[in-house]
Amino acid sequence: MSNGVPVGSSPPPGGRVLTSTRGTSFIGCVAVVVPLVLVIAIVIALNGGLVATFFAVVLVGVTTAAVVLGASEYRKWDDLEFVLPQWPLRLGSDMPAELIQRAKVAVPDRDIPVSGILFCREKVTYQVGTDTRTEKNDVHRIPFNVVGTVRDGVFRTTIPVQIPVHSGAPTIDFEHNEIRWRVELDLEGLSRLQTKQSFELVVAPQLSGGSGVIQDSPRPPA
């Protein structure tokens, strides 16, 4: 069902629209869980008595209800979009990014609290004997809380995206060493299906506007 709002945002000049993978996650989850539950239910039913068969039927019933409920939520909303006015981001970038999600069915107007975190993570892998070990460290974290609104079937809010010059680093993606920027969002109250969303950002090795000094490790607070 259309709500009159065009589906899919156009990226602003020099910007980009990132889309969540909500639908893929739901379908993937169903594809794994449903066959697994069916197999378990059949095994229980074949090897047990009347009580076991009853539990198998309950298990199938609960799973079916969960899938139907999930599918109904899945059909309510399009994928979440994160509209960035600049891409890739730069050291010192400071801009508002828009979060948009369009409803496919009629939904009531309301306010939705959004909490989230923007972080820069170093991730390394190393070999110890035959084991490959991984270590992660967040060198920069900025939490934020904003309020979004659902009006006329469209959820919108603005997220502050600030890439500091003094902590973190431009994105790197080597075989054993990575630096990645990510925004993680919690949209509890918008949809019962997958309230946590995340988007990977790319930060280029470029200072935004002449904003200061060379990139290096975090400075202790003054």
Partner 1 sequence: MMQRSADPNLSIQIEHDIAEVGSFFACTVSRSPTDGVTNEPGRGQVRGVRIELGWSTEGRGDTDSDTVASLVIPVDEFGMANARVELPVPANGPISYDGALIRVRWELSAQTDIKLGVDQRSSAEVLVVPARGLGTYDRAHPLR
Does the footprint of partner 1 cover residue 205 (CB under 8 A)? yes
Query: Between the CA atoms of 25, 27, 28 and 29, what dihedral angle is there, to the nearest 10 degrees?
Result: 80
Q: Closest distance between partner 1 and the C-beta of residue 183, in Å?
A: 20
Nearer of residues 15 and 88 to partner 1, judged by Cβ: 88
Nearer of residues 134 and 149 to partner 1, judged by Cβ: 134
Nearer of residues 4 and 174 to partner 1, judged by Cβ: 174
Q: Closest distance between partner 1 and the C-beta of residue 213, in Å?
A: 5
**Which of residues 139, 142, 146, 154 is near partner 1 by CB under 8 A?**
139
Of residues 14 through 43, those in contact with partner 1 by CB under 8 A are none
Cis amide prior to 88 (ω within 30 degrees): yes
Find all residues with CB under 8 Å of 212, minimum gap 6, and list them: 92, 165
Nearer of residues 102 and 180 to partner 1, judged by Cβ: 180
Among residues 136, 140, 156, 146, which one has the least CA distance to residue 186?
A: 146
Contact 148, 155 (CB under 8 A): yes
Q: Closest distance between partner 1 and the C-beta of residue 22, in Å?
A: 30
Angle between helices 22-47 and 50-76 (to 10 degrees): 170
Among residues 82, 114, 104, which one has the least CA distance to residue 95?
A: 82
- Residue that has been written with the tokens 């820069």 in this structure: 120
Does the footprint of partner 1 cover residue 215 (CB under 8 A)? yes
Contact 137, 119 (CB under 8 A): no
Find all residues with CB under 8 Å of 188, minimum gap 6, and list them: 113, 195
Nearer of residues 64 and 177 to partner 1, judged by Cβ: 177
Q: Is 92 left (phi over 0), alpha (psi -120 to 50) or beta?
A: left
**Which of residues 56, 91, 103, 112 is near partner 1 by CB under 8 A?**
91
**Which of residues 21, 71, 169, 198 is near partner 1 by CB under 8 A?**
169
Does the footprint of partner 1 cover residue 131 (CB under 8 A)? no
Nearer of residues 2 and 132 to partner 1, judged by Cβ: 132
Q: Closest distance between partner 1 and the C-beta of residue 109, in Å?
A: 44
**Which of residues 175, 220, 221, 222 is near partner 1 by CB under 8 A?**
175
Chain residues that interact with partner 1, rule: CB under 8 A: 90-91, 122-127, 135-137, 139, 169-170, 172, 174-177, 179, 204-207, 209-210, 212-217
